[in-house]
């Protein structure tokens, strides 16, 4: 299960999707949930704005799920949220199910790292004192919050 | 007569803001087989606003990351991918 949503993340649905594939053989489900933090490099965050190259983001998420399947032979499901997110809201959920917890932790950790390095999704941080794109390679001058 | 192929490149996030456009076009000579490397040379020559970004960008062809050797043809969906920040 791969989803990109613009409303609240279906965390329990993603968790169930991973464990359902293993059926009664599942002894562990590791679910990672990423949430919006209130501070970034000392700036107090008002909200984040996520955007994506959506067809490729879905394709890349599907490839990561396929690689978890090949490397660990474990089911993985994930969803990412786009649009405006407030502090404390969930932006990503990744779940891996396994017979035993060790492999599930390991594969879930790997899958989250891969999402962060490969899936074409970007976030703009809007703080009380300006906004900027996270990972902007040329560090464009921060704009004012009114322009965000 | 020399022909020319035009490619539309999708832009996102910080790169889209810097270019002030969500898509740009570049032209490649039609005589030689087109590759991602040739496309990036054309971007450097034809799109000065983006030239300084090139070392930081990855290229996607039809929704998959490409290498400099990846062949391209008119009609392919090509995107310039600035550093990602999902999660």
Q: What is the pLDDT along chain A (148 residues), one digit of tens a residue?
A: 999 999 999 999 999 999 999 988 889 999 999 999 998 878 899 999 999 999 999 999 999 999 999 999 999 999 999 999 999 999 999 999 999 999 999 999 999 999 999 999 999 999 988 889 998 888 765 565 555 5
Distance from CA of B31 to the nearest CA of A (A): 30
pTM across the whole model? 0.92
Instruction: Tell me, yes or no, if B76 comes closer than 8 A to chain A by beta carbon.
Output: no
Choose among B24, B28, B38: nearest CA to B80.
B24
**ipTM of the complex model:** 0.93
Nearest to A140 among B17, B60, B64 (CB): B17
Rounded-to-integer distance, Cα B79 and Cα B59, Å = 6
Instruction: Tell me, yes or no, if B65 comes closer than 8 A to chain A by beta carbon.
Output: yes
């Amino acid at each position: 299960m791969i989803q990109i949503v613009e409303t609240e993340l279906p965390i329990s649905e993603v968790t169930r999707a991973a464990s359902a594939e293993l059926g009664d053989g599942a002894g562990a489900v590791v679910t990672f949930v990423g949430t919006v933090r209130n501070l970034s490099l000392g700036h107090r965050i008002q909200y984040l704005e996520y955007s994506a190259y959506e067809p490729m983001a879905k394709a890349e998420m599907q490839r990561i799920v396929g690689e978890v399947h090949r490397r660990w032979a474990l089911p993985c499901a994930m969803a990412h949220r786009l649009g405006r997110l407030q502090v404390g809201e969930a932006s990503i959920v990744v779940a891996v199910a396994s017979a035993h917890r060790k492999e599930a932790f390991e594969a879930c950790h790997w899958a989250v790292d891969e999402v962060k390095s490969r899936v074409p999704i970007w976030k703009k941080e809007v703080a009380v004192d300006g906004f900027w794109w996270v990972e902007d390679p040329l560090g464009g001058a921060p704009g004012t919050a009114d322009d965000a | 007569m020399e022909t020319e192929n035009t490619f539309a490149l999708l832009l996102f996030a910080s790169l889209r803001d810097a270019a002030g456009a969500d898509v740009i076009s570049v032209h490649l000579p039609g005589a030689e087989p087109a590759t991602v490397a040739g496309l990036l040379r054309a971007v450097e020559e034809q799109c000065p606003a983006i030239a300084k970004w090139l070392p930081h960008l990855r290229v996607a062809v039809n929704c998959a990351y490409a290498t400099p050797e990846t062949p391209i043809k008119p009609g392919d969906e090509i995107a310039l991918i600035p550093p990602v920040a999902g999660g």
